[in-house]
Structure 1
């Protein structure tokens, strides 16, 4: 049976947060490259949300802000939709709201 507490302990421990933070810095350097996808950045937002450091509105707006500029490219938009669907396995309502905002 799936237990969200175990998931958070195993996936979002302190060392993972440090790795995500480093990855976020590296992603910011790559943002202008044509193959850039904000996957690590969005997983970082997810970890912040699950730890209670940001609220639902901040999670949704952060993900939308990082993904929206990529929607024009079919490959990138497909990859981002895959990521949103993957995150939706854990946070269905939140990712449903992200999709709705992206379609506005």
Structure 2
């Protein structure tokens, strides 16, 4: 029997990697690992995984991360980053400028 996990983070929510590798906005959620058939190492493949539009020093990039390495990042998105990279809806959810909020 397959166990179904409930995603902790919502599309449009700001998250950060627990090791401070990046911060960004959730763009999509997979209920389990949906990448190529490779060993995921110490990260369990049977947890939700997130596609995150992340902010780096040279601009934005898309990261694919397990729920177990992400934390709520609401307090770390700087106002300049928000205006430069994202649109924001009335509920405070963010989306990359060229992507709609689902």
Q: Please indicate, yes or no, whether the TM-score normalized by the shorter chain is above 0.5.
A: no
Higher strand share: 2
Higher helix share: 1
| Greater RCO, 1 or 2 (C-alpha within 8 Å, sep 6+) | 2
Give the TM-score normalised by the residue count of structure 1: 0.29
